[in-house]
Amino acid sequence: MPRARPAACRTISQLCLELVKSIAVGKSAFHVIRPHMLIRQLSYFVTLAKERHFARAADACHITQPTLSAAIRKLEEDLGVPLVERGHRFVGLTAEGEKLLTWSRQILTDYHSLRADLTGERKGLAGELRLGVVPAALPSVAFITERFCAANPAATVTIRSMTSRAIAEGLDAFELDGGITYLENEPLNHVHRVPLYRERYKLAVPQSHHLAGQKEVSWLNASAERLILLSQDMQNRRIIDRLTATLGFAVYPSVVSNSFLSVCAHLRRGGWASIVPHSFFHVLGQQPDLAILDLIDPVHSEMIGLVISDREPRGPMAAALLAAAMEADIEQGFAGP
């Protein structure tokens, strides 16, 4: 279960004050903490929690290890509680440190959102848009980033191929601004959803395959072929397994991978077949050495969409991402000109 988020507050100063009160109630030192110093200390602390190593965290923060250690100790002194369990090396966070980590992520996210919001009205946003995408939806991303980058030329975009579960964790930990994932199968909680397109399914086979001359094939007959599919940690595969189970049979691929690139490579060697999303042929184009069959009995589809945190106020990056997604007609884009 994801860690519960602190309630959203109106200002950075209020967040800092509530943080201190939540961790250091009864500690006389809490009133001397200055928000501008706290932001820097919290940034160091979050980096240490991520790296779990003082030297690596110092390198990531572009400071020396003694400077990092001193900042963490000062934070502990100001809050009046131990935050880090220390031995000869970093051991982990204390219970108070875990609580601080949740607050820190929210405060830093709101701080960077505030800075972006103050400049965004004049020239578009600057900074980094962090987007997690399930592998099956990667062909759709450019329809959104094209519009986002046009509206925010000073911003950069980082796209990470992730499982739907990792996207949920990233949103909850304030490590992602948004995600593109399945909306109906295993839906995420505490998110705002924007439908983008319906994913449909095809059987891809080499032109030498005995099914290559057909236009369509049933799920039952497709399941009997020599298959390469995604691994079961991928939701696309779990959708296939769930559908075939409702039809009374199962698929038993001879090769599994967590990468569609590997799937495509196997389609060109060894006579394998694969069940793939229709969107992949928008990227691959017409492939003369492959035959593409519609999967029927039944014709099945799943909704793919954008998810952003449902917290308010919405951060500028998430708002700009949402605006770009609303403008993108991905269904039409996949259909072609």
Please state, as a whole number, how many other Cβ atoms lie within 10 Å of the Cβ of residue 94.
15
d(CA 233, CA 236): 9
Vertex 30 angle, CA 28 and 35, to 5° = 160
Nearest to 161 by CA among 108, 233, 240: 233
What is the CATH architecture assignment of 124-196+303-335?
A: 3-Layer(aba) Sandwich (3.40)
Q: Where in the chain is the domain with CATH 3.40.190.10?
A: 124-196+303-335
pLDDT number for residue 126:
81
Rounded Cα gap, residues 155 and 131, in angstroms: 13
The sign of the dihedral angle between the CA atoms of 286, 288, 289, 292 is: positive
pLDDT reported for residue 271: 86
> Locate tokens 């191929």: which residue?
161
In the chain, which segments carry CATH 1.10.10.10?
Answer: 12-115
Position 218 scores a pLDDT of 97
Tell me how long the chain is.
Answer: 337
pTM here is 0.70
At residue 139, the pLDDT reads 93
Determine the pLDDT at residue 122.
54
Rounded distance, CA 304 to CA 158, Å?
20
- Cβ pair 291, 204 in contact under 8 A: yes
Helices (H) and strands (E) in the chain, counts: 13, 12
What are the two backbone dihedrals, phi and then psi, of residue 295, each rounded to the nearest 5 degrees? -90, 125
Mark the ranges of the chain whose per-residue pLDDT is less than 50: 1-10, 12, 24-32
Architecture of domain 200-300: 3-Layer(aba) Sandwich (3.40)
280 to 27, 99, 200, 276, 299: CA distances (angstroms): 58, 42, 10, 7, 18
pLDDT digit string (tens) for 226-254? 999 999 988 999 999 999 999 999 999 99
Question: Which pair of tokens denotes residue 201?
Answer: 């399914």
Residues of the chain with CATH 3.40.190.290: 200-300
pLDDT for residue 182: 96
**CATH class given for the domain over 12-115:** mainly alpha
Q: 269: exposed, middle or buried (C-beta count within 10 Å: 0-12, 13-18, 19+)?
A: exposed
Consecutive H or E run containing 300? none
Task: Give the pLDDT score at 252.
Answer: 95
* pLDDT tens, residue by residue, 10-49: 454 555 555 555 554 444 444 445 556 778 888 888 889 8
pLDDT for the residue 6: 43
